[in-house]
Amino acid sequence: MNKYIFVMTTVPDEEEGQKIAHKLVKDRLAACVTISAASKSYYWWQGNISEEKEYILFIKTQDSLYPELEKKLLKIHPYDVPEIVALPILKGFKKYLNWITEETP
């Protein structure tokens, strides 16, 4: 199992992304959250194709924190069914990975 993960979620606007990012970093569930520029998402929702502007949150954390991170996201996220996906960080700059460990005890 990898020690570090990269979690992604989408939000409807930058302000919502900032609130979520601040909460996750403040609670030490993430060492860093990067908010993308606006992007366009196309997806099926309730039997129709939706086209929405969204922002992507890139969350860097430790794998051991994922259950708590997911629980927190589900509590504070504005979507009924938020995209929450985690990818392993297979390799990375050692000092950066050590920093993630230091910031997410």
1 pLDDT higher than 90? no
Whether this prediction's pTM lies above 0.85 is answered by yes
Would you call 17 helix, strand, or coil by DSSP? helix
User: Could you state, in order of their start, the residue ranges of all structural domains in the chain?
Assistant: 4-103
When the pLDDT of each residue in the chain is averaged and rounded to a whole number, the result is: 96
pLDDT tens for 4-19 read: 999 999 999 999 999 9
Task: Give residue 2's pLDDT.
Answer: 72
Q: How high is the pLDDT of residue 85?
A: 98
Query: What span, in angstroms and rounded, lies between the C-alpha atoms of 60 and 74?
Result: 17
Predicted pLDDT at 71: 98
Architecture field, domain 4-103: 2-Layer Sandwich (3.30)
Q: How far apart are CA 74 and CA 83, in angstroms?
A: 10
Q: If you compute the radius of gyration of the chain from its CA atoms, what whole number of angstroms results?
A: 14
